[in-house]
Chain A
Amino acid sequence: GQQLNQSPQSMFIQEGEDVSMNCTSSSIFNTWLWYKQDPGEGPVLLIALYKAGELTSNGRLTAQFGITRKDSFLNISASIPSDVGIYFCAGAMDSNYQLIWGAGTKLIIKP
C-alpha cells in the first residue's frame, strides 16, 4: 500500500533550538497536512498545504510542499516545552478524502 516515510523517528532537543522534520513518498500528493498529537489526545491540524512549492507559516511553525509533490517538511523555530509531542505528516492523493499517514516524529525537549 501507499506509504509515507517520516523522519526522524524521534528528536531530543534543547529548549530554544530549531527543529526540522520531513516526509517523503514515492507517490505524488495533492495535499500535505501536518498534525500534532499530545498525550491522551487526538491529532490536531497544524498546517495544510495545497500547492507544490507552497510555504506556509503558523506562528513558529513553517511547512513546505515539495516542488516534486513527493515530499514536505516542517520546521519549528525556537522550540518551547509545549512543543513536545508527536508530529504526523499526512498526504492526500486525490479527492476521495483518504489520508496516507507518516509514522510520526516524537519531539522530546531535554531538561
Chain B
Amino acid sequence: DAGVIQSPRHEVTEMGQEVTLRCKPISGHDYLFWYRQTMMRGLELLIYFNNNVPIDDSGMPEDRFSAKMPNASFSTLKIQPSEPRDSAVYFCASTTSGSSDEQFFGPGTRLTVL
C-alpha cells in the first residue's frame, strides 16, 4: 500500500515568493494533518482536516499560511509571501477515524527560504 505522499521533497525559494506544498493521504483516511518541524520548536500542528473540512487551524502561524483540501486525496499548504523564518520541514500525516489516533506521516518537504 502507498503511504502518504508529499511533494516536492525539497524546495528552495527566495523571500517573498509563493510556496505550495502538496500531500496525498493514504487512501481511505479521512483525517489529514499538516505539521511543521524545526530544531527550536519541534513538531507543531498547523492545521487538520476531517472529511476535507478544516477542523482546527489555530496552529497556522499567520495569514501568510493557508491550507486547502479540495478532495479526499489531495491537500495543499501554501505560504505567500514566504520568509526566511518559514524554513523548516513540513510534514503531512493522515489517519482514519477507526485507527485510535495513530497518524501516518509522509516523508516531508524540506523548505529553505533564502
Contacts and interface: CB of A to CB of B under 8 A. Distances in A.
Interface of A: 31, 33, 35, 40-45, 48, 50, 88, 92, 96-99, 101, 103-104
Nearest to A95: B101
Interface string B26-54: 00000100000000001101001010000
Given A41-B108, A42-B91, A42-B106, A99 B42 contact: no
Contacts of A96: 55-56
B107 A31 contact: no
Interface in B68-114: 91, 93, 95, 97, 100-108, 110
Contacts of A33: 101-103
13 contacts: A33-B103, A35-B105, A45-B103, A48-B100, A96-B55, A96-B56, A97-B95, A97-B101, A97-B103, A99-B45, A99-B101, A101-B42, A104-B42
Q: Is the interface of A mostly helix, strand, loop or mixed?
A: loop
Given A31-B100, A45-B103, 19 more contacts: A31-B101, A40-B108, A40-B110, A41-B107, A42-B4, A42-B91, A42-B105, A42-B107, A44-B105, A48-B101, A50-B100, A88-B43, A96-B55, A97-B48, A97-B97, A97-B101, A99-B45, A99-B103, A104-B42
Interface of B: 4, 31, 42-43, 45, 48, 50, 55-56, 91, 93, 95, 97, 100-108, 110
Contact of A98 (B45, B106, B108): B45
Nearest to A98: B45
A98 B48 contact: yes
A42 B43 CA distance: 11
